[in-house]
A and B are shown apart, each in its own frame.
Chain A
């Protein structure tokens, strides 16, 4: 550790440039990772919501609603349906606005419309179901979420592609700058390296201090970028909270695990920090090994 800090102190400009490049890369990477996680979380949440919601006029009787429900059911295009009566709607409303007594006072179960939440077997059936519902008497409004899902899917797809290109550029830029700074450091220590080779040091022994230094820089840069970004996330959490009001949780559905993204929790923070640290240390290590390998090959 002493040698590592001495080496960093002796090459302040190379160290600073390497650190800043790593910090920049990791800050943007963590920001993109958090944004993508939230976006996927929102997408996942919306996909679990009813794909078609039909609100009936308050005067429509339950018998008429059930008749429509049975007709849709007979079509064989529906996966499941859920009827929400006026009373249930009022319960949901009360739960959503439990902190706002004024809003609760203004509303009663009578003015809330009964509704049907419908999940189609395939997305292609959605327009057909929505059209059928619009033609029925007693129907007030049909909410059809396909457009929202499609827009989110498009947005996620674009963001994923942009992130990929951006990541590739950031990684390339970081590796080039880190390789160059490591080469400077190697050149400064060329006498020591020559001596070590004559004393019988292995290539790994020679590479080790440069590797540790890079890993240390990668870890420091990732820690700082993570702290700043998480600070910003916490600072903006009241705004996010109001924006995501009514959504109990956003989750990233991995094949083997469901990672809760919102509300902010320590598992999500730990995963973000671990990935960012590994990424930072990884690119720093690759650049260091590339630079030292090149030098050792040229001088062997």
Chain B
């Protein structure tokens, strides 16, 4: 479960990214975080990852108060979260297998277990035949699949995606969304996007952001810009 309670985030220069935001995401829920650029979508994701600290309010992730002064479990928090970026953040000096394995290597999983789990993840994102291909030889859609595989591998119970289709054409965007759909119900998924077609077609809960405020929480899905 992820719970934001009256969370405000102000940056040192004074601009307010979020203002008294409150919402709860239950376990294995699939939600879209929508709104125009600068609405505060990425800030919410970065707060969940504890890349940012809120100016006020509290955030609970898997029952842990990650804003608490005595919070010393950053590693375990991050090890429970997978993240997909708009610009993929794929390492170009490592092949597909090595990129995905990174998620498990950081938590020192045994080599054989890594091999097994990476193969399963590759099957899920339909990249089994490209295990040892280097990123430079992959299309944008394939790179995003690698990023998704890296984000879902291991015991990561939360999947955050920041504009995962932002750099992709409509056809590829749909293929990527189909992968997210396959993962539904197995982990909590939060996708930040401003792609109205996808959000309206998927019919999932939508949190609408505008100027740092949560303006709508539509549990039945769908929204308009």
**A interface vs B, CB < 8 Å?**
6, 10, 191-192, 195-202, 205
Is B93 in the interface zone, CB < 8 Å from A? Answer: yes
Is B51 in the interface zone, CB < 8 Å from A? Answer: yes
Contact call A200/B76, Cβ cutoff below 8 A = yes
Residue from B51, B79, B93, B150 with most neighbouring chain A CB atoms (10 Å)? B93
Known contacts A196-B102, A196-B106: A202-B91 contact under CB 8 Å: no
- A264–B42 Cα distance when bound, in Å, is 68
Chain A residues whose C-beta falls within 8 Å of the C-beta of B68 in the assembled complex? none
Offer 5 A-B interface pairs, CB within 8 angstroms, sorted by A: A195-B91, A196-B106, A199-B106, A202-B106, A205-B106
Contact call B91/A200, Cβ cutoff below 8 A = no
Is B158 in the interface zone, CB < 8 Å from A? Answer: no
Q: How far apart are A99's CB and chain B's nearest CB, in angstroms?
A: 63
Is B178 in the interface zone, CB < 8 Å from A? Answer: no
Chain A residues whose C-beta falls within 8 Å of the C-beta of B83 in the assembled complex? 198
Contacting B78 at CB < 8 Å: which of A6, A10, A192, A200? A200
Chain B residues whose C-beta falls within 8 Å of the C-beta of A201 in the assembled complex? 106
**B interface vs A, CB < 8 Å?**
49, 51, 75-79, 83, 89, 91, 93, 102-103, 106-108, 150
Contact call B107/A200, Cβ cutoff below 8 A = yes
* CB closest chain-B residue, reference A195: B89
Contact call B91/A198, Cβ cutoff below 8 A = no
Chain A residues whose C-beta falls within 8 Å of the C-beta of B89 in the assembled complex? 191, 195
Chain B residues whose C-beta falls within 8 Å of the C-beta of A195 in the assembled complex? 89, 91, 102
Q: Which 9 A-B pairs have the closest CB atoms?
A: A200-B79, A200-B78, A201-B106, A199-B106, A200-B75, A195-B89, A199-B103, A192-B91, A200-B106
Q: How far apart are B146's CB and chain A's nearest CB, in angstroms?
A: 13
Chain B residues whose C-beta falls within 8 Å of the C-beta of A6 in the assembled complex? 93
Chain B residues whose C-beta falls within 8 Å of the C-beta of A192 in the assembled complex? 91
- A192–B105 Cα distance when bound, in Å, is 14
* CB closest chain-A residue, reference B79: A200
Chain A residues whose C-beta falls within 8 Å of the C-beta of B91 in the assembled complex? 191-192, 195
